[in-house]
Amino acid sequence: MYIDTEHCVRAVQSKDARFDGWFYTAVLTTRIYCRPSCPVVPPKAENMTFYPSAAACQQAGFRACKRCRPDTSPGSPEWNLRADLVARAMRLIGDGLVDREGVPGLAAQLGYSTRQIERQLLAEVGAGPLALARAQRAQTARLLIETTALTMAEITFAAGFASIRTFNDTVREVFALSPTDLRARALRTRAPRPAPVSGALSLRLPFRAPLTPDNLFGHLVATAVPGVEEWRDGAYRRTLRLSYGHGVVALAPTPDHIACRLTLTDMRDLTVAISRCRRMLDLDADPVAVDDRLRTDPLLAPLVDKAPGRRVPRTVDEAEFAVRAVLGQQVSTAAARTHAGRLVTAHGQPVEDPEGGLTHLFPAPDALAALDPEALALPRSRRTTLTTLVAQLADGSLRLGAESDWNDARARLTGLPGFGPWTVEVIAMRALGDPDAFLATDLGVRRAAEHLGLPSTPAALTARAASWRPWRAYAVQYLWATDDHPINVMPA
């Protein structure tokens, strides 16, 4: 997209917010880079050049616009659409892996040499892994400077910087303001906010409009595991297992952003917590591209027009969701919650939640690997399925994280006992994040297809759904929404 100069110029001149995050506009005369929807008068076309990432702009010597704040753009939807080396590397960098383990750690996760990763990232996004991680640290630092009362020393290490000097130099270089000037400017311009809960960070998570939150929050709440998730005071709340500790997040939809309140035991986990919350709510999706494709089917078009911008409810923990998918095989939503709740009570790590009723982290694969199968109130075949899955997750032979290749993960899941098409595809859709995952055998999908006049047998429906690619996971959301199941209703 970003190398097509003519289209980029048109997007900037029309201030089209749909392209925010797809590319960045660098102005040669002012040495400033902006998002395409920047509200200032567009520069002359000959003074514009375009980059695929904020890191590439910074590396070329441009600083962030103080007006449109390009560092707060939604992420590029390109990385959610693909599972190649570059896309997986971008997801891992967004998850804070380079800050924790460096470029060698990134290479080890992906199974490539550091040189190969550097070469491919430079070719496609214009910056290497260190520059991309640095841009992310700068964005996190700005967020903390402007929205919290943390000291600059606390912000330095929470954002992933190794020293206060590096923190100060980076902020000045990227934003052309010192950290204290950034905070003073924010205090002058922002509207008064409610007093935050003690120890919590209040953030705004941007998204591309439109966004229909009904099925997104409805699904998360209807399937919520007691003690791990809840709906309270208009927000979906859950516990998070993070790299340095744990946290509790509360997420509530508003017309132009998702209100996020985070409580963390270690501030170094902020970047990964934000990344996982964005991923769970599918906030980096491109709803216009999705809906335009699905509207080409005359039977889906009325559903899209009725509630455009549906998202795929995903997860903050891929291993957790895989376990829950097995527990949900051939049972009702309520029964799946009951089974998961028993696992949490028996094997979950207790946590304190001063705000509500969250009591545990969902048990990690290591904790579940030692469970006694006979203690599970499940059919014998389902016990075998669960224990085999947990064993492979615990020893690392099955990987479902951001580093995983979708086709390889599907093949490994299919080889496990008790894993049929429904289980494999629901994990691909909600854990792996494949936007083209399709649940052709799902009862709700087949019932909706029959009601709409679509083929209802799995083979025929799959053939008809070929025209919906690569967005079949979103088509599933629209099909599910034809039912009056609680997953489709915004909680009261």
* Shared domain check, 145 and 25: no
* Shared domain check, 154 and 272: no
* pLDDT for residue 422: 96
* Shared domain check, 380 and 248: yes
* Shared domain check, 210 and 183: no
Catalytic residue among 20, 95, 269, 442: 442
* Shared domain check, 197 and 186: no
Q: What is the pTM of this model?
A: 0.91
CB 158 within 8 A of CB 270: yes
Locate 326 and state its tokens: 């097995």
Q: How far apart are CA 180 and CA 293, in angstroms?
A: 47
Q: In this structure, is residue 138 part of a structural domain?
A: yes
Q: Identify the CATH number of the domain in which residue 165 sits.
A: 1.10.10.60
* Shared domain check, 414 and 399: yes
* pLDDT for residue 376: 83
Q: Which domain does 463 fall in, by range?
A: 193-492
Strand 246-253 with 201-205, pairing: unpaired
Q: How far apart are CA 182 and CA 128, in angstroms?
A: 27
Q: Of 190, 214, 230, which residue constitutes the final position of a domain? A: 190
* Shared domain check, 27 and 142: no
CB 270 within 8 A of CB 140: yes
* Shared domain check, 150 and 68: no
Report the sign of the C-alpha dihedral through residues 51, 436, 277, 147, in that order: positive
Q: In this structure, is residue 108 part of a structural domain?
A: no
Q: How far apart are CA 216 and CA 205, in angstroms?
A: 15
Q: How far apart are CA 222 and CA 490, in angstroms?
A: 10
Locate 207 and state its tokens: 């998204």
Q: In this structure, is residue 482 part of a structural domain?
A: yes
Q: In this structure, is residue 165 part of a structural domain?
A: yes
- Length of the chain as a residue count: 492
Can you list the alpha helix ranges (DSSP code H) found in 176-283? 179-189, 214-222, 270-280
* Shared domain check, 290 and 344: yes
Q: In this structure, is residue 89 part of a structural domain?
A: no
Indicate if 442 belongs to the active site.
Answer: yes
Burial class (CB in 10 A: 0-12, 13-18, 19+), 150: middle
Q: Of 72, 101, 121, which residue constitutes the final position of a domain? A: 72
Domain count, the chain: 3
* pLDDT for residue 37: 92
Taking Cα atoms as reference points, which of 159, 103, 143, 144 lies closest to residue 127? 103
Report the sign of the C-alpha dihedral through residues 362, 364, 365, 368, in that order: negative
CB 480 within 8 A of CB 487: yes
Residue ranges in the chain modelled with pLDDT below 70: 1-3, 190-199
Cα–Cα separations (whole angstroms), residue 446 to 421, 443, 453: 14, 5, 10
Indicate if 277 belongs to the active site.
Answer: no
Q: In this structure, is residue 78 part of a structural domain?
A: no
* Shared domain check, 479 and 385: yes
* Shared domain check, 284 and 219: yes
CB 204 within 8 A of CB 259: yes
Q: Identify the CATH number of the domain in which residue 327 sits.
A: 1.10.340.30
Q: In this structure, is residue 227 part of a structural domain?
A: yes
* Shared domain check, 423 and 456: yes
Catalytic residue among 8, 34, 38, 68: 34
* pLDDT for residue 195: 44
Q: Of 24, 41, 72, which residue constitutes the final position of a domain? A: 72
Q: In this structure, is residue 81 part of a structural domain?
A: no
